[in-house]
Structure 1
Amino acid sequence: MNPESIRAASRVPHGGETDPDVLDFSANTNPRTPKGVEELYAAALEGSRRYPDDDYPTFRAAAAEFVDCSPERVVPTPGGLAAIRLAMEITLEPDDEALVPYPSFGEYAREVRLQGARPRFVRYDELTELRTAALESAALAVVCTPNNPTGDAADPDALAAFADRCGDAGTTLLVDEAFLGFTDLPSAAGFERENVIVARSLTKLFGLPGLRAGFAVATEDRRDTLETARRTWSLGTPAARVGAHCLRDGEFVAETRDHVERERERIREALERRFDVHPSDAPFLLCDVGDQNVDELLESARERGVAIRDATTFRGLDAHVRVAIKDRERNDRLLGALGVGESTDRHGHK
């Protein structure tokens, strides 16, 4: 990172609620975790008395199977954001230009700036349409699929064609697939292009945001550079063991996808009685509240024991909130708190 840029940088807002008595719909994490996680985590304590195997063969194999690539292409990281930073560290130099989507995850621009590089913001749904000439000035282009906070996924064929154009322009393409596991769409790991780096997170799909497990996928020299640059012992023993276990639980993934799709449609239909709701392939919905006051809406929901995400913190959004998709009981609490379902208090009592 660039020391001068670090001194000028600041944090960016995120979802996440610390009050255990408030239902958290501001963070897009699965309310369920795979069976056996607690026992495996507890058993990993004894293994944590030794340094982990820095090759992480079991984790790499599980991650590779999950995205359909060879284990050698997997680079373990402590979360998806760590994979994003690692990709930018090996790609960007001071004064480089990076194409950053908006509205989208705020950490992209922050991480670009921390490297001393300059973000150039492009509408997320126009980014993959850029032609080669428009890419030649950029060292890096970032695509989030499904995009956060809008929820729509990039068309795989359009993304593959964009990866080709990035390669022709000498531009590295970083594809953030933090929410792709909620869909049955193929990973960009299948492109097997040297200019493509994929970042994956276990946080959202497996409901373990505090575990900090993820990975990058790359090929040839780019993979070797990532592997050299990653921190030694980049995953703790519990993260590596639990992460591998989760990645291999295909039944859990399939059940989660089915549940999220059903509940997302049900919640969307209810929310559309009051808001304009953006189409989504992800475990969340972006709502345009129109002329309603966002702060008052957030406060009203919180008084009913529900935290939702203020989406006006995303570039280009000025009258929006984002809500996660949870299980049916919690989702009903959300609908009640937003005035489109039966109202309950913060303890779930009608």
Structure 2
Amino acid sequence: MDPDAIRAAERVPHGGEPDPNVLDFSANTNPKTPDGTAQVYRDALEESRRYPDDASPDYRAAAAAFVGCDPERVIPTPGGLAAIRLTMERALEPGDTALVPYPSFGEYAREVRLQGATPAFVGVDDALEIGTDALADCALAVVCTPNNPTGEAADPDALEAFAARCGEAGTTLLVDEAFLGFTNLPSAAAFDRENVVVARSLTKLFGLPGLRAGFAVASGQLRDDLETARRTWSLGTPAARVGAHCLCQDEFVRETRTRVARERDRIREALSTRFEVEPSDAPYLLCAVGDRSVEGVLERARDTGVAIRDATTFRGLDSHVRVAVKDRDANDRLLEALRCPP
């Protein structure tokens, strides 16, 4: 990390409502967690009197089975963002350029800058069309699938072709799959390319944002470098035990995917009576408010006890809000707050 870049950096705004009395639609987390999670956590807390097993074999095995790769390719991290930073620390040096999509997760550009590198922004709809010649000038390229905040997942074939072009150009490809678990799409871990890193998070799908559990998947020398560079004891015992438990809950994942898809379609139809709503493969919807005031929409929702995300904090968006997809009762409260009868 570049010291001069740190002094020039700023924090990035995110969703998340600290007031427990407010229904939080600003953060895209599952309102449910798998059965048995609390007991696994209690048992792990007692075992936390010892240092965690730095190898995390059970966690690696569960993560590998979840994305379809060999366990040795999994690098445990305290959340998906830690996997993103670890990858950028490995791939970037001061003066490098990184291809960053927009509108997308604001931490990508921040993390690039913290390494002393420069983000080269490209529209999210055009990112996978970038050719080998242009990629040759980039040490790193980032893809978010499904993209946050727009919600669209990358076509797996187009993504694989892009990964191949990145390899030809000598560019490391970072694929952020924080929300891919809400879909039936395959992970880019299946590519098994030595220039590709996949970042995954347990935060969203399993409703555990405070646990900080995630992992990276990589191959070859890139995998070896990430494994060497990751912090010792980077995953605490509770996170490793709960994470391994959750990753094995196939029925919970199937039920979540079905519920989110059903509710997303339902509330998108209702929201479309007042807003322009983007199609989505993710547990959230991006809404253009038109000639309404974004601040006014946020305040009216807040007055009814509902928090939604100000999406104007995303690069390229100036009249948008983002809403999460929860369970039916909560979603009905959202629609009522936004004056969109279900």
TM-score by length of 1: 0.97
Secondary structure of the 1:257 match is: helix
Tell me the equivalent position of 1:80.
80
The residue type equivalent to 2:319 in the other structure is: A
1:302-350 deviation digits (Å, cap 9, x = unpaired)? 00000000000000000000000000000000000000127xxxxxxxx
Cα separation, 1, equivalents of 2:17 and 2:156 = 34
Cα separation, 1, equivalents of 2:169 and 2:220 = 18
Tell me the equivalent position of 1:197.
197
Within 5 Å, which residues of 2 pair with 1:297-316?
297-316=297-316
Cα separation, 2, equivalents of 1:75 and 1:93 = 22
Q: How much has 1:132 moved relative to structure 2?
A: 0.5
Within 5 Å, which residues of 2 pair with 1:254-333?
254-333=254-333
Q: How much has 1:124 moved relative to structure 2?
A: 0.9
Tell me the equivalent position of 2:93.
93
What fraction of aligned residue pairs are identical, expressed as a percent? 75
Within 5 Å, which residues of 2 pair with 1:1-350?
1-341=1-341
Secondary structure of the 1:232 match is: coil
Cα separation, 1, equivalents of 2:233 and 2:89 = 18
Q: How much has 1:46 moved relative to structure 2?
A: 1.4
Secondary structure of the 1:133 match is: helix
Cα separation, 1, equivalents of 2:228 and 2:5 = 24
Would you say how many aligned residue pairs link Structure 1 and Structure 2?
342
1:61-107 deviation digits (Å, cap 9, x = unpaired)? 00000000000000000000000000000000001000000000000
1:207-260 deviation digits (Å, cap 9, x = unpaired)? 000000000000010000000000000111000000000000000000000000
The residue type equivalent to 1:180 in the other structure is: L
The residue type equivalent to 2:305 in the other structure is: G
Tell me the equivalent position of 1:346.
none
The residue type equivalent to 1:323 in the other structure is: V
| Structure 2 residues not aligned, in runs of 5+ | none
Q: How much has 1:125 moved relative to structure 2?
A: 1.2
1:100-123 deviation digits (Å, cap 9, x = unpaired)? 000000000000000000000000
Secondary structure of the 2:225 match is: helix
Q: How much has 1:275 moved relative to structure 2?
A: 0.3
Q: How much has 1:282 moved relative to structure 2?
A: 0.0
Secondary structure of the 2:238 match is: helix
Give the aligned CA root-mean-square deviation in angstroms: 0.5
Q: How much has 1:300 moved relative to structure 2?
A: 0.4
Secondary structure of the 1:12 match is: coil
The 4+ residue runs of structure 1 with deviation greater than 4 A are none
TM-score by length of 2: 1.00
Cα separation, 1, equivalents of 2:45 and 2:153 = 38
Cα separation, 1, equivalents of 2:20 and 2:45 = 26
The residue type equivalent to 1:95 in the other structure is: G
The residue type equivalent to 2:160 in the other structure is: A
| Structure 1 residues not aligned, in runs of 5+ | 343-350
The residue type equivalent to 1:123 in the other structure is: G
Q: How much has 1:45 moved relative to structure 2?
A: 1.4
1:285-309 deviation digits (Å, cap 9, x = unpaired)? 0001111000011000000000000
Cα separation, 1, equivalents of 2:19 and 2:105 = 24
Cα separation, 2, equivalents of 1:261 and 1:118 = 37
The residue type equivalent to 2:174 in the other structure is: L
Cα separation, 1, equivalents of 2:14 and 2:321 = 12
